[in-house]
Amino acid sequence: MNTPHYIAGQWVDGQGADVLSVFDPARAEVFAELRAASRVQVDQAVAAARSALPAWKNTAPGTRAGYLRGFAGALAARRQALVELQMRNNGKPRAEAEVDIDDAVATFTYYADLADDLAARQYRPVALAAPGFSARTRLEAIGVVGLIVPWNFPLVTSAWKIAPALAAGCTVVLKPSEVTPLIELAYGQIAEELGLPAGVLNIVGGKAEVGAALSAHPGVDKLSFTGSNAVGSRVMHSAAEQCRPVTLELGGKSAIIVFDDCDIDQAIEWIIAGIAWNAGQMCSATSRLLIQEGIADALLPRLAQALSTLRLGNPFDDDIDMGPLSSEAQWRKAGDYFAVAEREGLRCLTGGQRLDRQGWFVAPTLYTDVPTDSRLWTEEIFAPVLCARRFTREDEAIELANDSRFGLVATVASADLQRAERCAAALEVGHVWINSIQAVFVETSWGGTKGSGIGRELGPWGLSAYQSVKHVTRCLG
């Protein structure tokens, strides 16, 4: 922690003005401090990535795949320590932290397999209508990429970016969140152990100044950002000034539609998973509950009871269901929304308050009959706050679900699978679950429509995001 930045294959002290305080949110106590990188160090990291790029992008895809498998194996070997760091710094219950680490391992393994296939996909012929010419397709690394990742799923979101970038032959400058600056350092340690060529992976930590310096750096060929819409807008502006590509995975205000033919117990399980996982700190949280009239009176009281009995506590305690919010800023933001709900006169069935105890805990919350112009219905809260409305007809549910500036995900719960599939086709989002918790697989895409971002991560689409396409056309005459 005294040398928290990894640049050109070396661990270095931070030279920036900011000191990053790393908190245990269950105790609201600092357990580590480290100094941020400076703008000069961002320059050094980009220069190292630029220097390493020619050799790395020309490295055999199978060799790159070997490094990726090395990352997967080394993450798996560190599983227990990384799980406990997620629990301590994020406040995640153990089971959730374990899912995170396993997701990161699976991501590196998956992109290792795709990297193995790259050589076979090079120089594929293109069928031309015109005689006398041949054409072939070549896929190339897009170059030096700047990766900016959030605090709610550290290590996971970075794996979603680092693995396909390295598989494609790109070199990387990673900026972790200042809230969770420690866990991504494992990637630098693993790179060192594996003998990854110096400069292929660089890690520079800090606050907004470091992110802004990386976003605006003329030596970066692509930016990939996951986080808030406010910061994403600034990242996109920096990309526009350099006329370079950008992937943005931003906010959401997603809907879960529950039809009256559902089993109530199953519906409650899916609803709670969509709002209470990671204490609601998910861009994909299904925080708008659309519930059909025929089931509403039976489901809502039972849902309120289930939310009120969730066990909150320190992740290291036994038998907890939900931990604290990850930062004091999120805790205060949740309190601001509870105050808005009170001013708006919203009907609260359970929760609606921050808890008066050590740590940044809030009560799982359910508001019902929430107007569509309420701030709680339209704005991303990033806390376990669920807003419910009733509907009568299928088309009404679709209209309500799509009436949002976001379009990340949605869930449909219905025993009528034909109806569920119709809804999935009509919803203006990037991912739909039918009768399921939010199971995310590396083979499927991740990303949204409207204000939820640009581009896709995971699956083959995640690899394509770090590749440029070159065609070679030859006259045969």
pLDDT tens column, 341-360: 999 999 999 999 999 999 99
CA dist 190 and 188 (Å) reads: 5
Kindly report, as residue ranges, where domains of CATH 3.40.309.10 are found in the chain.
255-441
CA dist 187 and 174 (Å) reads: 10
What average pLDDT does this structure show over 3-24? 95
pLDDT tens-place string over residues 365-412 = 999 999 999 999 999 999 999 999 999 999 999 999 999 999 999 999
CATH topology of domain 255-441: Aldehyde Dehydrogenase; Chain A, domain 2 (3.40.309)
pLDDT of residue 477: 81
Kindly report, as residue ranges, where domains of CATH 3.40.605.10 are found in the chain.
5-250+452-475
pLDDT of residue 119: 85
Distances in Å between the Cα of 468 and the Cα atoms of 8, 202, 245, 471 are: 25, 22, 10, 10
Residue numbers annotated as active site? 249, 283
Mean pLDDT of the chain: 97
pLDDT of residue 390: 98
1: pLDDT strictly greater than 80: no
pLDDT of residue 122: 85
Whether 462 and 252 have beta carbons less than 8 Å apart is answered as no
CA angle, residues 473, 474, 477, in degrees to nearest 5: 150
List, as one string, the DSSP characters of 226-254: ES-HHHHHHHHHHHHHHT--EEEE-----
Q: How confident is the model at residue 121 (pLDDT cuts 50, 70, 90)?
A: confident
CATH class of 5-250+452-475: alpha beta
pLDDT tens-place string over residues 176-226 = 999 999 999 999 999 999 999 999 999 999 999 999 999 999 999 999 999
